[in-house]
Amino acid sequence: MRSAAFAVGKRRMDTGRPNIVTLTMNPALDITTCADQVRHTDKIRCGATRYDPGGGGINVARVAHVLDGPVVAVFTSGGPTGAMVADLVRREGVAYEPVEISGVTRESFTVNEGCTGKQYRFVLPGPHLTMTEQAQCVENLRRHAMSAEFVVASGSLPPGVDPRFYQQIADMCRESGVPLILDTSGGGLSHIESGVFVLKPSLRELRECTGKELTTEREQVAAARDLIDRGVTDVVIVSLGGDGALMVTARQSQRFKAVPVASGSGVGAGDAMVAAITVGLSRGWPLPKSVRYGIAAGAAMLLTPGTAVCRRAEVERLFALAAEPEDLTSGW
């Protein structure tokens, strides 16, 4: 396994430039509202509306910024919704570089139902990107990666983008000597063959990637280690929601318990986890400590409305409560 300390120390310099770069190929304008009851056919009257910039890499950048991690977000931007996403990112103080596209940035719509407490999420597919636009994303990312400690690619790929696109990003990161942290699903995940430092699937995404049920912890660890043995990644961190997370390397597997908090919107919790893990690694922390920080950040997102970013004070408070991981290797 590549040493996290080596990967960080190799590039830690006082350049004044962001040491974390995120990529979002399919950002969204996240719209959150509420309604007394969601019923088919009827016109549903909604309450107050909240707008947030969304998409995996953008969310990672927002949380990293809150945690004082120097970060820049590279993302596609098209039409009025793209302009609004960029403006919302700017208002939060996050450094960013939009890649202008001819299509229109998508919207994601979340409705919280008052009578049941259920949440309904409507996610649009996103615009088609031309080959020129895709190439511009890679080039902009490459330019920032040259002086970065970590690249984080997160989120789905928009329609028409080759599912091997993230493999192209992994190859570029390897050529640039910068570790890649990847959080994606579907074809973007199943077509990765090599070059990832940390892969962060959810359990559902790991199941889809392997085509197996993975009902037991042993099976989940085995599936993660198979990705490592095949050379896909050095580390797999499987997020388990309310059950915490598993961290698997070539030599070790550890279970991390969730930090108990009041139930709330889980939107963006996985992105917050990735952000805090990356910030921890950029500080030179070992992986287990960084994962504990990530679990704290994910839990802190449950305390925010809609896709609002978590607060650093809450992350630090929950981090102090996060339990040390349990080593699974010796128990089997």
For residues 306 and 18, what is the distance between their CA atoms, to the nearest angstrom? 27
Catalytic residue chosen out of the listed positions 30, 52, 183, 271 = 271
Strand, helix or coil at 225? helix
* Rounded Cα distance, 137 and 130, in Å: 11
What does the alpha-carbon distance between residue 109 and residue 74 come to, in Å, rounded to a whole number? 23
**What is the rounded CA–CA span in Å between residue 96 and residue 242?**
32
Q: Are 78 and 100 in contact (CB under 8 A)?
A: yes
Q: CA-to-CA distance for 199 and 181, rounded, in angstroms? A: 6
Strand order in the sheet with 119-123: 50-54, 28-35, 106-113, 119-123
DSSP H helices in 202-268: 203-210, 217-229
Do strands 95-100 and 233-239 pair parallel, antiparallel, or not at all (unpaired)?
Answer: unpaired
Classify each residue of 89-104 as buried b or exposed e, where b means 16 or more C-beta atoms within 10 Å of its C-beta: beeeebbbbbbebebe
Report the largest interatomic distance among the alpha carbons of the chain, rounded to a whole angstrom: 59
CA atoms lying within 13 Å on the CB side of residue 168: 16
317, β-bridge pairs: none
Please say if 234 is a catalytic residue. Answer: no
Give the residue among 143, 199, 201 at the shortest CA–CA distance from 173: 143
- What are the residue numbers of the active site? 271
